[in-house]
């Protein structure tokens, strides 16, 4: 069995910044409310002609540079996204073309967006563990802004656009890398966060568009209650499973859904906020990309260093959640 080691990370956020004050001009909200309830000050919004594959390709190029590899070295590309370029075929194939990874095969996964960060890393690590691949590009990207009703303040104030990329390399099991992962789903929360129209259950019709059913909807209270339990419980479980204690963990990097979720969950764990990294105030909830952006930015800024033991945790629609335990 081989281990997956992270050898490079990268992220991309669009240039357009939309502040809370900008949103106040188009909806009934306030900077104070958004900052207090969610922790967001601004978010990045993709250009009209910008695609999910464009953002992911930019993040991938940065990750490849940091990993000191070329596109020819990549055996597999795995993309987690909630907003693909097209329903079919896989957007990862478009990324493959844009970065010139001619030796790779590519496929997408959809896990309701936000949980995609940990699901994609867990899946990719299995392809390395069994020897199928030696080098894998894991990309996460979402253009949430194109799936929002900008008159619905319950969702429009929360999300931003962005992409992240992680390069995994096959190493001996004695070396640093992904130690373990654990994934969960609970179908009881299936409708807590979803897009009603667009699938075969409810095709997009003229009536659906009139009712704005092609846009993302969320029960914010239900997701908050779910996340503040799932987040700490999942971290505790993976640490215990691997015969560690929480004091052995240097950092917990979580999905950037809500700063209050992060604070409450870290308090539940008895871990100080100094042992996490958050950037929700700058980027909002970037869905599948949020954990990867936070990890890449923390490494870039020297907050997380080689040798640190880190738990990545994400949660969201499905309901789905999971953790990845790793050593950098």
Give Dmax (Cα) for the chain: 58
Rounded Cα distance between 270 and 322, Å, is: 20
Rounded Cα distance between 106 and 76, Å, is: 6
Residue 17: CB atoms within 10 Å: 15
Catalytic residue list contains 255: yes
Rounded Cα distance between 160 and 143, Å, is: 7
Length of the chain: 328
Q: Is 284 exposed, middle or buried (0-12, 13-18, 19+ CB in 10 A)?
A: buried
In the set 20, 82, 114, 133, the catalytic residue is 114
The DSSP output letter for 202 is: B
State which H helix or E strand residue 108 sits in.
Answer: strand 105-109
Residue 92: CB atoms within 10 Å: 27
Residue 151: CB atoms within 10 Å: 11
Rounded Cα distance between 81 and 69, Å, is: 24
Q: Are 99 and 242 in contact (CB under 8 A)?
A: no
In the set 82, 255, 258, 279, the catalytic residue is 255
Q: Are 94 and 51 in contact (CB under 8 A)?
A: yes
CA distances from 324 to 202, 209, 269 (A): 34, 39, 16
In the set 20, 82, 144, 285, the catalytic residue is 285
**Catalytic residue annotation:** 114, 255, 285
């Amino acid at each position: 069995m081989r281990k997956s080691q992270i050898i490079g990370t990268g992220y991309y956020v669009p240039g357009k910044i939309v502040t809370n004050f900008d949103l106040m001009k188009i909806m009934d909200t306030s900077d104070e409310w958004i900052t207090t309830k969610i922790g967001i000050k601004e978010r990045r919004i993709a250009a009209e002609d910008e695609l999910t594959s464009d953002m992911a390709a930019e993040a991938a190029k940065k990750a490849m540079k940091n990993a000191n590899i070329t596109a020819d070295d990549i055996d597999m590309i795995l993309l987690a996204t909630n907003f693909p370029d097209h329903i079919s075929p896989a957007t990862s194939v478009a990324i493959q073309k844009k970065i010139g990874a001619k030796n790779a095969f590519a496929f997408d996964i959809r896990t309701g967006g936000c949980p995609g960060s940990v699901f994609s890393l867990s899946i990719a690590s299995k392809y390395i563990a069994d020897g199928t691949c030696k080098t894998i590009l894991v990309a996460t990207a979402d253009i949430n802004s194109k799936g929002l009703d900008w008159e619905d303040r319950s969702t429009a104030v929360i999300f931003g656009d962005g992409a992240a990329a992680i390069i995994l390399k096959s190493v001996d099991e004695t070396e640093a890398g992904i130690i373990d992962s654990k994934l969960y789903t609970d179908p009881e929360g299936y409708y807590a966060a979803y897009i009603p129209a667009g699938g075969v259950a409810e095709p997009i019709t003229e009536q659906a568009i009139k009712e704005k059913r092609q846009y993302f909807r969320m029960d914010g209270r239900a997701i908050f209650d779910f996340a503040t339990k799932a987040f700490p419980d999942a971290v505790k479980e993976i640490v215990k499973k691997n015969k560690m204690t929480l004091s052995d963990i240097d950092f917990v990097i979580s999905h950037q859904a809500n700063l209050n979720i992060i604070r409450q969950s870290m308090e539940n764990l008895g871990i100080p906020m100094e042992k996490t990294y958050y950037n929700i105030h700058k980027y909002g909830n970037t869905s599948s990309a949020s954990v990867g952006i936070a990890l890449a930015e923390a490494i870039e800024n020297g907050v997380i260093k080689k040798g640190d033991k880190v738990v990545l945790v994400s949660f969201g629609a499905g309901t789905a959640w999971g953790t990845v335990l790793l050593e950098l």
